[in-house]
Amino acid sequence: MKKKLLFIGPPGAGKGTQANLFSKKYGHDHLSTGDLLRDEVSSGSVLGTKAKALMNQGELVSDELVLSIVEGRLVMSQKGWLLDGFPRNVNQANSLKKLLEKINQPLEAVISIQIPDNYLIKRLLERGREDDTEEVITNRLKIYSEKTAPLIDLYRKQGILEVINGNADIDVVFSCIEKALG
Ligand code: B4P
Closest atom of ligand 1 relative to the 34 alpha carbon: 2
Q: What one-letter code names the amino acid at 45? A: S
Give the residue-averaged pLDDT of 155-176.
Answer: 98
Cβ-Cβ contacts under 8 Å for 177 (sequence gap 6 or more): 18, 22, 111, 162, 164
Residue 179 clears pLDDT 90, i.e. is over it: yes
3-state secondary structure of 173: helix
Contact 49, 33 (CB under 8 A): no
Ligand 1: residue whose CA is nearest its atom 30: 86
144 pLDDT tier (thresholds 50, 70, 90): very high
- Residues contacting ligand 1 via CB (< 6 Å): 11-17, 33-34, 37, 54-55, 58-61, 66, 85-86, 88, 92, 123-124, 127, 131, 140, 169-170, 173
Residue 182 clears pLDDT 90, i.e. is over it: no
Q: What one-letter code names the amino acid at 144? A: Y
pTM: 0.94
* The pLDDT value given to residue 10: 98
Mean pLDDT of the chain: 96
Say what percent of the chain tops pLDDT 90. Answer: 91
* The pLDDT value given to residue 78: 85
Tens digits of per-residue pLDDT, 7-48?
999 999 999 999 999 999 999 999 999 999 999 999 999 989
Pocket test for ligand 1, best of 20, 61, 151, 173 (most atoms within 8 A of CB): 61
Give the residue-averaged pLDDT of 70-74.
Answer: 89
3-state secondary structure of 60: coil
Say what percent of the chain tops pLDDT 70. Answer: 100
Tens digits of per-residue pLDDT, 76-120?
898 899 999 999 999 999 999 999 999 999 999 999 999 999 999
Give the residue-averaged pLDDT of 60-79.
Answer: 91
* The pLDDT value given to residue 75: 87
* The pLDDT value given to residue 119: 95
Sheet of strand 4-8, all strands in order from the earlier edge strand to the far edge: 29-32, 81-84, 4-8, 109-114, 161-165
72 pLDDT tier (thresholds 50, 70, 90): confident
For the chain, the maximum distance between any two Cα atoms, rounded to a whole number of angstroms, is 43
Ligand 1: residue whose CA is nearest its atom 46: 14
The residue ranges of DSSP E strands in 9-141, in sequence order, are 29-32, 81-84, 109-114
